[in-house]
Amino acid sequence: MTRRPYDNAGRVEQARATQRRVLEAARELIIERGPTAVSMRDIAAHARVSVETLYKTFGTRAVLIKNVYDVTLAGDDESQGIAGRPEIQTIVAAVDPREKLARYAALARRLAERLGPLQYRLRAAAHSGDRDLQGLIGTVDAERLAGAGRLIHHLVDTGGLRAGLDPDRARDIVWALISPEVYDLLAGDRRWSHDEYEHWLAQTLADTIAPVPKADRNA
């Protein structure tokens, strides 16, 4: 009698569904209460799982919160990172540097919308002295810097960076302009609409790092 191979696809999908439920529960509680007021036990109760399941799946509270951040940033729990997603491919496909930057601004706007409430809570807790969250903010800031660097490398490779502008300086400009602090000031404190924020970001990026249009050079 031949044994059929064991198919564990059901178990894998069940585990993934549980992980999604945990991450959504954690995100909801962090936004509602702030991360310092949320324990692993709180998250477990809200997600209807055991505390042991949380530690078995994520190891530590810091790792769990980083997973919450990553899934919120991506918009789903697929393994493919932002760099390999269609939104980035549309930037690469654009021919005109200013169009590339406009598409990049549209992506930055969508990421800011997804992350806004969560990121506000995490940064506030980090500034109040939570060492785990200080480490998380350091990590995500470094990831944002790396993403800005990839954009600049692409512009350099395609002749889309302003003549005479140092690529490292350009990377730092992009990193600052897409920072959550700038987004919070404009969309939060000054109550700009998301359309206004996106238009401003696209225009500022183009005016700062894109090649000067021929008409302006000849003026």
Residue 88 falls within a domain, yes or no?
yes
- Tens digits of per-residue pLDDT, 73-112? 988 887 766 777 888 999 999 999 999 999 999 999 999 9
Q: Does residue 1 have a pLDDT over 60? A: no
Nearest CA-CA partner of 208 in 170, 159, 155: 170
86 and 71 in a common domain: no
Q: Does residue 215 have a pLDDT over 70? A: no
204 and 151 in a common domain: yes
Residue 72 to residue 147: CA distance in whole angstroms: 17
66 and 85 in a common domain: no
- Tens digits of per-residue pLDDT, 159-187? 999 999 999 999 999 999 999 999 999 99
Residue 178 to residue 86: CA distance in whole angstroms: 20
Number of domains in the chain: 2
Residue 101 in contact with residue 47, Cβ under 8 Å? no
